[in-house]
Amino acid sequence: MTFSSQPGTPSVIRRTLVVGAVVSAVGLVLSSSLFPHASQAQQPAAALGIPAAPNAPTLVKGLPDFTELVDRVGPSVVSIRTTQRVTDSDDGSDEADAQMREFFRRFFGTPLPSQPKRAQPGNQPGEERPRGVGSGFILSGDGYVMTNAHVVDGADEVYVHLTDKREFKAKVVGADKRTDVAVLKIEAKGLPAVTVGDVGRLKVGEWVMAIGTPFGLENTVTAGIVSAKARDTGEEIRFIQSDVAVNPGNSGGPLINMRGEVVGINSQILSRSGGFMGISLSIPIDDAVKVAEQLRSGGKVIRGRIGVSIAPVTKEVAESIGLGKPAGALVQGVEAGTPADKAGLEAGDIITKFNGQTIEKAQDLPRLVAGTKPGTRTTLQVFRRGAYKDLSITVAELDAAQQPKAESQAPAKLAADSLGLSLADLTAAQKRDLRLNGGVMVEAATGPAARAGLRQGDVILAVANVQVADTRQFEGMLAKVDKTRPLSVLVRRGEWAQYVVIRPQAR
């Protein structure tokens, strides 16, 4: 079709042009109103009192180049392989199985299920077979190497492979399972040692790099940022959390900052699949160095203990006993003859300070105590029945077979409209056996008391921060309290003590 040969076509064309012009004009108006110029865009912000910053500097410029870091730190990173001697009942696993055993043991806390087998032909009893692989880094030029304790745990022989292709049989100087730090020694001189960084200068969001041997792939470099510092997982140390890709085999390798300094030891991953999922945990290098120094000097780490079992202080308990905020460590039990017992600590005390340092969380206490030299005399601040009290205590040594008890128990189940308790005075024999001066025995618990978790055989030691001597005093105290408000009760069950909050109107 040719428009020029059709009658009326020019008018059609004119209408089309007019409509097009109108649409263009409307579009221009809409675009100018919906997408204003920079000067116009600042007007609403100014009207709202938001300061405009048209010339604000760019905070992040480009991505970092890690090549110089790899060149500088790479030669200090080593690969570690471990072997195990074959026995008649060995399972004949190969290196791939060793990798899986490391994964199951470290990230699930259970061994890899297997069926025992007789030694296979070519793999006779007494011979070495691959057991696992890991990473490490050179601490000093005379051959000291740092890695994770779980990398060398259970190994018969440990071999350290350098980037210059040399391999040495290593001696395990010491390994500390509590912090997962191990120190090895190889007979070599003039080795390229790492530079230890200052963890205190590390910032969240800062770029960091890892070098290691994930799945046996030597000298693998990955990078990311620091996601969090002092991540508390309930263990003795607080971790550096990052999104650096770390997988089984990276264990023991260094976490490196942009200055080429080691700031951590890659130790754990949080994963549902067994592979990297964006959360890696590294041991801060300052904590690791302290452990390494003790391992090098004595082959073990010496820790302090005071002999208490503790639990967190919940918000409800803190409010009910007048503590103000949920802080400190609730003493659930005191071991006889321990420093805590000699210092006069009691079940139900809230330890709020140790050696002048505030206990924000229950787990702070065992960390501080463990880091205190045995024999040190120091002070505990406790909150007891509505008042603070200072106690003098001498820290003892934690034996290798002992474990500090810092168990977190769920708060008692709460409920109620009335107490529903049947009580009896403690006999002289019961007080002697329980090592108590007072308290009342629960003979039966129904209604709100039962729903709060109380049961027959429990001993009530205090009510509303006041120590209970006998049933008469208990009844007198109940007559004075507001029965419509929650009531805190300190209860002993066996060797443990715990606060229970009874809520009369809880549903």
Any alpha helices (H) in 322-413, and if so which ranges? 339-343, 364-370
Give the pLDDT of residue 351.
96
Q: Exposed e or buried b for every residue in 305-334, given b needs 16+ CB within 10 A?
A: bbbbbbbbbbebbbebbebeebbbbbbbbb
Active-site residue, from 76, 135, 251, 488? 251
Residue 126 CA from chain centroid, whole number: 40
Q: For 366-385, how does the pLDDT look when each residue is reduced to its tens digit (9 = 90+)?
A: 989 998 999 999 999 999 98
pTM of the full structure: 0.64
Give the pLDDT of residue 56.
67
In order of 19, 24, 28, 207, 367, the CA distances from 31 in angstroms are: 18, 10, 5, 41, 62
Closest CA to 301 of 244, 236, 227, 216: 236
The two tokens of residue 323 are: 């503590």
Active-site residue, from 76, 90, 135, 150? 150
Give the pLDDT of residue 119.
46
State in Å, rounded, how far the first CA of the chain is from the last one: 83
Using the 8-state DSSP alphabet, how is residue 104 labeled?
A: I
Annotated catalytic residue 232: no
* Contact yes or no for 435/334 (Cβ under 8 A): no
444 forms beta bridges with 422
Annotated catalytic residue 76: no
Annotated catalytic residue 161: no
Give the pLDDT of residue 320.
85
Q: Could you tell me if residue 46 is left (phi over 0), alpha (psi between -120 and 50 degrees) or otherwise beta?
A: alpha
**Cα 281 from Cα 430, distance rounded (Å):** 49
* Cβ count near 482 (within 10 Å): 9
Residues of the chain predicted below pLDDT 70:
1-54, 56, 58-60, 87-126, 272-275, 400-418, 479-484, 503-507
Closest CA to 208 of 285, 147, 116: 285
Residues whose CB is less than 8 angstroms from the CB of residue 9 and which lie 6 or more positions away in sequence, other chains included: 3
Q: Which residues are annotated as a binding site for substrate?
A: 150, 180, 249-251
- Structural domains in the chain? 67-300 (2.40.10.120), 304-398 (2.30.42.10), 421-502 (2.30.42.60)
* Contact yes or no for 272/239 (Cβ under 8 A): no
* Contact yes or no for 132/100 (Cβ under 8 A): no
Active-site residue, from 176, 180, 287, 364? 180
